[in-house]
Amino acid sequence: MTGAAASAGAGASAATRDSAGSGDSAGSGAAGEAARLLAGITGRVGQVLASVTGVRDATLGLAAAAQAAGRAPGPADLEPLRPLVAGVLAAHQGFAAGAGVVLAPGVVAGAARCLEWWWVTPAGEVSKLAVDLDPGSAEFYDYTSTAWYREPERTGSWSVTGPYVDYICTRQYTFTVSVPLHLGGGFAGVAGADILAEEVERLALPALTRLPGAAALVSGNGRVIASNTTRALPGTVLCPGRSGPALWHSPPLPWTLVADPRSPGG
Amino acid sequence: MPPRALSTARTRTLFAPLDAGGRADAVTRRLTQAIRLGLLADGERLPAEASLASQLGVSPVTLREALASLRELGLVETRRGRGGGSFVCAPDDHDQARLERPLRLLSLHELQDIGDHRAAVAGAAARLAAQRAIPGDIAALREHAARLGAAATTTERRRADARLHIEVAAAAQSPRLTAGEMELWSEIGDLIWLPMGADQVAAVAAEHRELIDAIEHAEPGLARELAERHVAAETSRLLEFRLGLAG
């Protein structure tokens, strides 16, 4: 969950939602089946989003309990999150690689920044992410500058950031879904989960290869997520003028299936 | 700082068994990276030698050799007696003398080789970033460039500089090039700013600006050339400084 860039927020997806009706008529036969398969993927992302919302609500409950006791929430108040997040990671095993909560500076008593994030190690164990949150340190990790933090802060709604190179947590090509957390009417942080881009590609590829022509699943900012052609490989950005029309939209995610995709050099 | 158990995450990433034939050098490198990246904090006590050796999958003799190198580098100190053990000494960027010590251990050829490696990684990352970056990536690069300009201390400059180069590799959409930049910066990031004073910030900032412009304007060839030239200039400064320490 690095991502200083490449976010496609809920705000950006509103237009996609509005035009989703036309996407449903993308076609019958192979194209229709591909659309159904791709809808399954966005549904899968939606399930992770639902789990993240659950983590957010639990965090609000813990914070409210601390406040009811007459104090600002402290790190100890958030300890019950660990088993909850471990459960989320188990429920989305092999798809979500990390999840947790980060709080806005000053929300947690005794800590300028607070990151309660867990990830699944290569050995399959759930471990807490250790990062340096001391602003004076050379290795300071300022999560407030990431897109997955800023987008929910800006829009007040959920967002899907990526794909992007997450060099802090998963160290892989990753998406992060995040939802804002509001305390006392103010923005107080986000809850989120990391989804490995390779898993999304693995799910998308069978659908894409069923299509009669070249096509790519593209994120809201024009980045290829998965494709059935080497002319537009994952991670590249499509050339708008040289690529074909949108075949299908995937509400509520701001993802689009683009025909005859072309990236620079492709 | 009281000793504490190493978290599983760190144990898995830092202390995963090294390949067969793993030697003291590899152990030294891994622990150096852990300390430079802040995964092992200043004053933290390392696990007991026997336990650490078995976690790393090396013999106690190999581990002791690695610890001796780390002591030489000033990254670990060993205290005897009750409450003793090996403790992490996280480098203080303001301590010039402490930084000169690891630099003296590097030969000119090694420094040149590290510079060549950096140029290869940074050049390839810049070229791909120019092909693949979107406006959000450019905004992040400009933000880190601005942080370098506004930095008041060497620590802040080094942090912003490292972050900028890592972000270029991330903008290239390459986890491997990103990991490469992270490894290189953790290895010699402290040294890059050693020969540079506040008066050089403007020159470095100008090079960064040109590089980001080339990435933004989708000029892969130019971006690569600028990144390679930027790294080469830093390498020469470091080589001159190292020569000055000779004798």
Q: How confident is the model over B161-219, as pLDDT tens digits?
A: 998 999 999 999 999 999 999 999 988 888 888 888 778 888 999 999 999 999 999 99
Q: Say if residue B104 is in the same domain as residue B77.
A: no
What are the pLDDT digits (tens) for A186-216?
A: 999 999 999 999 999 999 999 899 899 999 9
CATH 3.40.309.10 fits A41-198, yes or no: no
Co-location of B46 and B103 in the same domain:
no
Write the CA distances from A160 to A3, A11, A33, A37, B32, integer angstroms: 11, 11, 25, 20, 35
Q: How many CB atoms lie within 10 A of CB A216?
A: 31
Which ipTM value was assigned to this complex?
Answer: 0.76
Q: Which of B116, B145, B144, B133 is nearest to B174 (CA)?
A: B133
Where do the DSSP E strands lie in chain B? 76-79, 85-88
In a domain, B161, yes or no: yes
CA A231 vs. chain centroid, Å, equals: 26
Q: Report domain extents, chain A.
A: 41-198
**Which residues of chain A from 134 to 193 reach within 8 Å of chain B, CB to CB?**
136-140, 145, 147, 163-165, 167, 171-173
B109-143 pLDDT per residue, tens: 999 999 999 999 999 999 999 999 999 999 999 98
Answer whether A236 sits within 8 Å of B175, measured CB to CB: no
| List of residues 6+ apart from B68 with CB closer than 8 A | none
Q: Which of B39, B60, B88 is the last residue of a domain?
A: B88
Same domain, B50 and B110: no
CB half-sphere exposure, B113, CA atoms < 13 A: 6
Residue B133 lies in a domain: yes
* Domain-terminating residue out of B88, B118, B136: B88
Q: Do A236 and B218 touch (CB under 8 A)?
A: no
Counting residues of chain B whose pLDDT is more than 70, the rounded percentage is 85
pLDDT for position B21: 41
* The model's pTM: 0.74
Residues of chain B in contact with residue A167, where contact means CB-CB under 8 angstroms, are: 166, 170, 175, 178-179, 182
Q: Which residue range is the domain that position B170 belongs to?
A: 96-245
Residues of B with a Cβ under 8 Å from any A Cβ are: 7-10, 12-13, 16, 36-39, 93, 131-134, 136-140, 143-144, 155, 158-159, 162, 166-167, 169-171, 173-175, 178-179, 182, 189-190, 218
Of B65, B88, B111, which residue sits at a domain end?
B88
CATH number of the CATH domain containing B228:
1.20.120.530
Number of domains in chain B: 2
Say which amino acid occupies B182. Answer: M
Task: Determine whether B100 is exposed, middle or buried from the number of CB atoms within 10 Å of its CB (0-12, 13-18, 19+).
Answer: middle
Q: Which residues of B touch A145 (CB under 8 A)?
A: 140, 143
For residue B3, being part of any structural domain is answered with no
Q: What is the pLDDT of residue A138?
A: 61
Task: Kindly list the residues from chain A whose CB atom is less than 8 angstroms away from the CB atom of residue B42.
Answer: none
**Domain check: are B74 and B159 in the same one?**
no
Q: What is the domain-level CATH number for residue B71?
A: 1.10.10.10
pLDDT, one tens digit per residue, over A219-263 is: 998 999 999 999 999 999 999 889 999 988 888 899 999 999 999
Burial code of B225-238, b = ≥16 C-beta within 10 A, e = fewer? bbbbebbbebbebb
